[in-house]
C-alpha cells in the first residue's frame, strides 16, 4: 500500500497533532483537574487479564517531590523537562512481590498502552507531552524506592509546548510496517 495523503489528512486531530516538544512554556501549569483526568485516562486502558500493571509518580514545579525527580534528569532532558508543568514517572509491575514470578507477561506492553491513553487525553486538554528515558534510572529508583516487583520504566514531561512540531519528523511507511517482519 502506497502512502495515501488522504489518509494522513484524515487522521484524528488528537493523533495528528501530537508531537514531543523540546521546549515547554514554564508558565504552562497543569492544574489538579487536568492531572486527575490524565490519570483517569491511564486507569481505563485495556490490559492483559485486566491486570493493570501500571503505576505513576507525579510532581509539579513548586511541589517538594518535584526536586526529588528533577535532580535525576540527564542534562539532555533537564534542558526542557524542568519547564514542563508536570513530570510523570511511569512504573510497571513486572514481578509478583518478593518472587521471580512474572506478574504479567504483558506488563511493559500494558504500561505503554496506558501511557498512550494518558498522552492522548493530554492532547484533548491542550497539553503536550514528551516521553523520555534520559534520566538516572538507578538514582531515581533509590530516591523513590518502589515496592519489590515494581520497576521504573520512563518519564513523561507534560505542559504547554513552546515550539511547533519540526517539519523533518519522519515515519516508516505503512507498506514497511506490513512487509518488514517477513522474509521476501
Ligand X SMILES: Cc1cc2nc3c(=O)[nH]c(=O)nc-3n(C[C@H](O)[C@H](O)[C@H](O)COP(=O)(O)O)c2cc1C
Report the interface residues with ligand X, using CB under 6 A: 19-20, 77, 131-134, 154, 169
Report the residue number, 52 or 131, with the smaller CB distance to ligand X: 131
In the complex, minimum distance from the CB of residue 170 to ligand X, in angstroms, rounded to a whole number: 9
User: Least separation, in Å, of the C-beta of 85 and ligand X?
Assistant: 18
Residue 80, C-alpha cell as written in the block? 526542557
**34 vs 111 by CB, closer to ligand X:** 111
Name which of 76 and 99 has its Cβ closer to ligand X: 76
Q: Which is nearer to ligand X, 7 or 101 (CB)?
A: 7
CA distance 71 to 65: 10
Stated as kind and residue range, the H or E segment containing 92 is strand 86-93
Can you tell me whether residue 8 is helix, strand or coil? helix
Quote the least distance from Cβ 116 to ligand X, whole Å.
9
Axis crossing angle, helix 107-124 with helix 32-43, rounded to the nearest 10: 140
Smallest distance from ligand X to CB 99, Å: 27
* Contact indicator for 129, 122 with CB cutoff of 8 Å: yes
Amino acid at each position: 500500500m502506497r502512502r495515501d495523503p488522504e489518509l494522513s489528512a484524515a487522521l484524528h486531530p488528537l493523533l495528528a497533532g501530537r508531537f514531543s516538544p523540546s521546549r515547554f512554556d514554564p508558565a504552562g501549569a497543569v492544574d489538579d483537574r487536568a492531572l486527575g483526568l490524565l490519570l483517569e485516562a491511564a486507569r481505563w486502558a485495556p490490559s492483559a487479564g485486566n491486570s493493570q500493571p501500571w503505576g505513576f509518580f507525579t510532581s509539579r514545579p513548586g511541589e517538594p517531590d518535584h526536586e526529588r525527580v528533577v535532580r535525576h534528569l540527564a542534562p539532555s532532558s533537564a534542558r526542557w523537562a524542568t519547564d514542563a508543568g508536570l513530570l510523570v514517572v511511569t512504573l510497571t509491575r513486572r514481578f509478583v512481590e518478593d518472587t521471580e514470578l512474572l506478574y504479567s507477561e504483558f506488563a511493559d506492553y500494558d504500561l505503554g498502552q496506558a501511557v498512550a491513553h494518558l498522552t492522548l487525553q493530554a492532547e484533548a486538554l491542550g497539553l503536550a507531552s514528551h516521553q523520555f528515558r534520559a534520566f538516572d534510572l538507578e538514582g531515581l529508583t533509590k530516591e523513590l524506592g518502589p515496592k519489590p516487583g515494581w520497576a521504573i520504566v520512563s518519564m513523561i514531561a507534560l505542559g504547554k509546548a513552546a515550539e511547533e512540531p519540526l517539519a523533518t519528523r519522519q515515519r516508516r511507511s505503512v507498506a514497511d510496517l506490513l512487509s518488514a517482519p517477513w522474509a521476501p
